[in-house]
Structures are given as C-alpha cells and as structure tokens.
Amino acid sequence: MIKRCLFPAAGYGTRFLPATKAMPKEMLPILTKPLIQYGVEEAYEAGCTIMATITGRGKRAITDHFDISYELEHQIQGSDKEELLVGIRALIKNCTFTYTPQNEMKGLGDAIHKGKALVGDTAPFAVILADDLCVNPDGEGVMTQMVKLYEKYKCSIVAIMEVPHDQVHKYGVISGREIEKDIFLIDDMVEKPDNDKTPSNLVIIGRYILTPDIFKIIEDTKPGKNGEIQITDALLTQSKKGMVLGYKFQGKRFDCGSLDGFVEATNYFYNNLKELKK
Ligand code: G1P
C-alpha cells in the first residue's frame, strides 16, 4: 500500500568534515555500504519501490550510486568481485529513483514538502532519514513494522525510542497515551526542547509514515526551532486535527550523524556480518 519513500538528503553533514566536503554524508559507508543504501534496502523490504531523494548541491554521488556503472561493471564481469554488486543491482532493477533539490536549507518540514512533486499528494508515503541507521536482527525491519501498523490505523506514524533525559534536546519529543503495547496516541510534540522543559523522554527517530494531508499542513506551518519549518510542528497540528501515533519499534537504531553512533554502527556490523571477514 505504501509504495513511495522519501529520503531527505540535502543537509551538509558538517559534523563529518572534512570527509563530507566533496562527498554527501549519506554516502559515508558503514563497512562497504553507504548509509543511504541501508535506508533504501529497509524501504524496499517494507514494499516501497519508488525512492525519492531530496538532494542539495554536491550530492551527485547519490544519483550515480543508484545507477549502473557500465565501465566498472564491464571491468569486474566474471570475477568474484561481481558478487559485491548483487545487492545494489537488485535495487536498481526493482526500484525507480527520483530526485529534486531542496534549494534552500529551511528545515526538515520544508525538505519533506519539496518531496510532494515526487511522491504525490494522494497516497501515504514513508520518510527515512538515512543517518539514523536501523536494524532488527530478530525480525522485520523498522519500516516494515510501521507499514503494518499503518494498515491498521491509517494515520501518520513516527518511530520513537526512549533516551536518557539529558539527551532529549537533540530530538523531536512526543508525549501521549499508550493505547496498545508500544503504540502511543500522541497529544504533544516539541522539537528539540530544553532538557528541563520536555514533555517526556520518548523521542522521534528518522522514520515516519505520513498521510498526504501533511503537505497542506506544512504550507501553513510557521518557522519553529532554529527558524526552520519543522515536521514535528506540522505533525502536532495533524495530531490535533485527527491522530498521529508514536511507535516504539523493535530493533536497534544508530545515530550515524554523530561520530560515536557511526563508530558504534561500524563495530556492530563488523561483528555481525561474518561473511565480510572471510
Ligand atoms: C530531525 C528531526 C527530529 C528528529 C531527528 C531524528 O532532527 O527534526 O525531530 O528527532 O531528526 O534523527 P535532526 O537530527 O535532523 O536535527
């Protein structure tokens, strides 16, 4: 039912300079795979086949990554290196990749709004922030879990997790009533509150399912935290008009937008992907 996934990828990635001076942060690899490919694989597992990326200047490597590289593929044809491209080739074959630039850095809400031309405004769609890398070694991917929940509730859903209280200022924070195990009916949302003014310690991570009425709501949303159009503010409006759920997902999330999270993810994948150590 949810066929389209939006990947906001216009940010500069300044925390990873100089690595991100000429290379998009979404292309930083965890082992041999760029972050955005993990996100695309998660969306594909969830049933999405249209991968729509909001890009910015200097992001061409993302477009090239999801395209055939004839010269390289010709070079390695018939060698055991071909095996390394099996995953990306399958994505290229089975998905359609579309792109549009954000032009100006006006916040995540604005970036998502730019995606309207790519995902349309008639069907719900997924959003994945590639620097939040999610895995669920014991079962379905996080987006697959969310799509299943969408099928039941048919409303916007944000993935949430608990963090220590002194960390909430880095995130959008929700509060709500637990209506089923791990499912919260949201009654408040605040983008990056001060640690002592937070409604809870349940924070939003980079996985959303949004119903298309969000576009009109974003258009009516005033700049919020840091003078940017915040998706958190638009979702609060949507929750007041109807309902928005917070879903405490099964699995692990690595904050690959920070050096600590990036190293943690690298170690995790290195220790868990035995075949890479052959
Ligand atoms: C964005 C959202 C924030 C969310 C976070 C998850 O913030 O605005 O609500 O908690 O992603 O990673 P950013 O990390 O882009 O500043």
Higher local confidence (pLDDT), 27 or 276: 27
Q: Check residue 275 and give its pLDDT.
A: 54
Strand partners, 208: 127, 158
Does residue 190 have its Cβ closer than 6 Å to ligand 1? no
Does residue 108 have its Cβ closer than 6 Å to ligand 1? yes
pLDDT band of residue 129 (cuts 50, 70, 90) is very high
Q: Whose CA is nearest to atom 15 of ligand 1?
A: 108
Number of domains in the chain: 1
Which amino acid is residue 238, in one-letter code? Q
Q: What is the mean pLDDT of residues 125-149?
A: 97
Q: What is the mean pLDDT of residues 255-270?
A: 96
Q: How far apart are CA 42 and CA 258, in angstroms?
A: 21
Q: Check residue 57 and give its pLDDT.
A: 85
Residue 47 CA to ligand 1 center (angstroms) comes to 24
What mean pLDDT value characterizes the chain?
95
Does residue 203 have its Cβ closer than 6 Å to ligand 1? yes
Q: Check residue 273 and give its pLDDT.
A: 77
Using alpha carbons only, what angle is made at residue 104 by residues 222 and 208, rounded to the nearest 5 degrees?
65
Decide if pLDDT at 68 tops 60.
Answer: yes
The conformational region for residue 78 under phi > 0 = left, psi -120 to 50 = alpha, else beta, is left
In degrees and rounded to multiples of 5, residue 225 shows phi and psi of -50, 135
Q: Best substitution site from 12, 170, 205, 208 to test ligand 1's pocket, by max atoms within 8 Å of Cβ?
A: 170
In terms of DSSP H, where are the helices of the chain? 35-45, 60-65, 70-76, 86-94, 108-114, 116-119, 142-153, 214-219, 231-241, 259-272
Q: Are 157 and 136 in contact (CB under 8 A)?
A: no
How many residues are given for the chain? Answer: 278
CATH of the domain at 231: 3.90.550.10
Tokens of 190: 């605040």
Residue-number span of the structural domain to which 55 is assigned: 4-277
Instruction: Say whether pTM exceeds 0.85.
Output: yes
Residue 131 CA to ligand 1 center (angstroms) comes to 10
CB atoms within 10 A of CB 128: 28
The conformational region for residue 121 under phi > 0 = left, psi -120 to 50 = alpha, else beta, is alpha
Q: Check residue 277 and give its pLDDT.
A: 52
Does residue 171 have its Cβ closer than 6 Å to ligand 1? yes
Decide if pLDDT at 12 tops 90.
Answer: no
pLDDT band of residue 13 (cuts 50, 70, 90) is confident
pLDDT band of residue 140 (cuts 50, 70, 90) is very high
In degrees and rounded to multiples of 5, residue 35 shows phi and psi of -50, -45
Q: How far apart are CA 53 and CA 66, in angstroms?
A: 11
